[in-house]
Amino acid sequence: MVPSTAVYVAAVPISVIVALGLLRKWRSRKWATCASNTCLRGKTFLITGANCGIGYETAKTIVRRKGRVIFACRDIVKAKEAIANIRKEQPNGGEMIPMQLDLASFESIENFVEVVKKGFNKIDVLINNAGVVVPLNQDLKTKEGFEIHFGVNHLGHFYLTNLLLDHLKRATPSRIVVLSSTLHERGKIDFDDLNLRKQIEEAKKRGGSPRHNPGYCNSKLMNAYFAKGLACNLRNTGIDVNMVCPGFCATNLFRHSIKWYHYILMAPILIAFMKTAKQGSETVVFCATDHSIEGKTGKFYRDCEEYTSKHEFDKEVEAKLWSVSEELVKARKPL
């Protein structure tokens, strides 16, 4: 006979796992999948940060549907590895091209665009997916000296997109998909301190960032302002610009903030609430390919549906962020 304590010892973790599984199943009923499955042959998709996470899963789906994907990645070796993995699974999928792009360097962005322009006559869909989250106390900066979230997540994509507009115009109807996050609702744009000097100094004294990293949240708000401003500027040109929140997904995004033991402590939350990268990519693929939203622009999507942001967007802030970003790109240093 099995001793009763052994039964209890086994029953508790099993019940917890079953409960978490049921909770996940209940939550996932709202996690939409992109129903669109049309052939994408002849279309060129450019995805920043396609070597892992949501960008990788987005690329994989597009390749399965025969689209051509430019993997615009910081590390060309990782881009080639990602491509080799997809090719193994999908020997007959679309073409994949690895290219080096470091969004933390204006020179790298310019070199990248030059190579794209030489190699391709149009881009059908640009997916601004790459992103970083780094604790503020690490005080990381881009090559030009911008705070890392502001520099990579916002300014790098701002510059890249503007340099590629002619190529997107040649492919109309074309699309730009901007990966933001509902965390933009926690963001604030302080034009007197875009590089967060005050908050970085406080974080250094405290030895860490606040729970919701203000650098990241602000940059996701800037992504949303940029997408809205761009959608407005490009109205009636045949280029649609939309924003996506993929949801809370298990990816490498928090690699700088999360230690190994956090995974153990947070395992129940991760199991019950986190999407996989593939589940997170569904709305990105929807915004990049679904015919039902052709002509819709300046919208925020979550779970393949329009999402109404709780943030009160202000046209003056939108215009100011645009002009300040242009000025900073021109100056190539924080002013």
Ligand X SMILES: NC(=O)c1ccc[n+]([C@@H]2O[C@H](COP(=O)([O-])OP(=O)(O)OC[C@H]3O[C@@H](n4cnc5c(N)ncnc54)[C@H](OP(=O)(O)O)[C@@H]3O)[C@@H](O)[C@H]2O)c1
Member of 27, 78, 141, 169 binding ligand X (CB under 6 A): 78
**Which stretch in 62-70, 162-170, 199-207, 251-259 sits in contact with ligand X by CB under 6 A?**
251-259
User: Cα Rg for the chain, rounded, in angstroms?
Assistant: 21
Cα(232)–Cα(261) distance, integer angstroms: 45
Binding of ligand X by 176 (CB under 6 A): no
Minimum Å gap between C-beta 211 and ligand X is 15
**Which stretch in 60-68, 91-99, 248-256, 303-311 sits in contact with ligand X by CB under 6 A?**
248-256
With beta carbons less than 8 A apart as the criterion, state whether 58 and 84 touch.
no
**Which stretch in 49-57, 60-68, 86-94, 166-174 sits in contact with ligand X by CB under 6 A?**
49-57
**216 labelled catalytic:** yes
Minimum Å gap between C-beta 268 and ligand X is 17
Beta-carbon contacts of 118 under 8 Å, excluding residues fewer than 6 positions away, are none
Cα(334)–Cα(327) distance, integer angstroms: 10
Binding of ligand X by 232 (CB under 6 A): no
- Give how many residues touch ligand X by CB under 6 A: 30
With beta carbons less than 8 A apart as the criterion, state whether 46 and 164 touch.
yes
Alpha helix ranges (H) inside the chain: 4-28, 53-64, 76-89, 106-119, 148, 157-169, 197-206, 214-233, 260-265, 267-273, 277-289, 315-331
- Which of the residues 56, 159, 216, 225 is marked catalytic? 216
* Mask for 58-77, x = binds ligand X (CB under 6 A): ---------------xxx--
Return the number of the residue (172 or 309) whose C-beta is nearest ligand X: 309
Minimum Å gap between C-beta 185 and ligand X is 12
Going by C-alpha positions, the residue among 168, 58, 67 that lies closest to residue 113 is 168
Member of 40, 46, 103, 116 binding ligand X (CB under 6 A): 103
Cα(65)–Cα(45) distance, integer angstroms: 12
Return the number of the residue (164 or 201) whose C-beta is nearest ligand X: 164
- DSSP for 219-281? HHHHHHHHHHHHHHHTTTTTEEEEEEE--SB-SGGGTTT--HHHHHHTHHHHHHHPBPHHHHH
Binding residues for ligand X (CB under 6 A) = 48-49, 51-55, 73-75, 78, 101-104, 129-132, 152, 179, 181, 245-246, 248-249, 251-253, 277
Residues catalogued as catalytic: 216
